């Protein structure tokens, strides 16, 4: 039986759904018994979803073309 610390050190691939079957079974064995790690897995998955879907650092599409022209002007200036 894994400890919680060991579970937390190993569950990255499980979150990304790429864990090898043996590791997955090992981790799920722990999850079945451990309410705390169930909460951590559920809330970490929700964290990933929130972060992935946010526009916190997005650059508006409308501003792209002016940026392209500014960069190319400096490129041509230097060549």
- The answer to whether residue 31 forms part of the interface with another protein (CB under 8 A) is no
- The answer to whether residue 16 forms part of the interface with another protein (CB under 8 A) is yes
Q: Least distance (Å) from another protein to the CB of residue 67?
A: 5
Among 10, 38, 36, 32, which Cα is nearest to 23's? 10
In 1-79, the DSSP E strands lie at none
C-beta separation of 16 from 22 below 8 A: no
Report d(CA 66, CA 25) in Å as an integer. 52
- The answer to whether residue 25 forms part of the interface with another protein (CB under 8 A) is no
Give the binding site for another protein (CB under 8 A). Answer: 2-3, 5-6, 8-13, 15-16, 18, 20, 36, 39-40, 42-44, 46-59, 61, 64-65, 67-68, 70-72, 74-76, 78-79
């Amino acid at each position: 039986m894994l400890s919680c610390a060991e579970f937390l050190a190993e569950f990255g691939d499980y979150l990304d759904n790429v864990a090898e079957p043996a590791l997955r079974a090992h981790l799920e064995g722990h999850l079945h018994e451990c309410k705390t790690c169930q909460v951590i897995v559920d809330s970490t998955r929700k964290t990933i979803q929130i972060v992935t879907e946010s526009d916190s650092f997005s650059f508006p599409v409308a501003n792209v073309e002016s940026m392209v022209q500014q960069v190319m002007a400096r490129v041509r200036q230097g060549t």
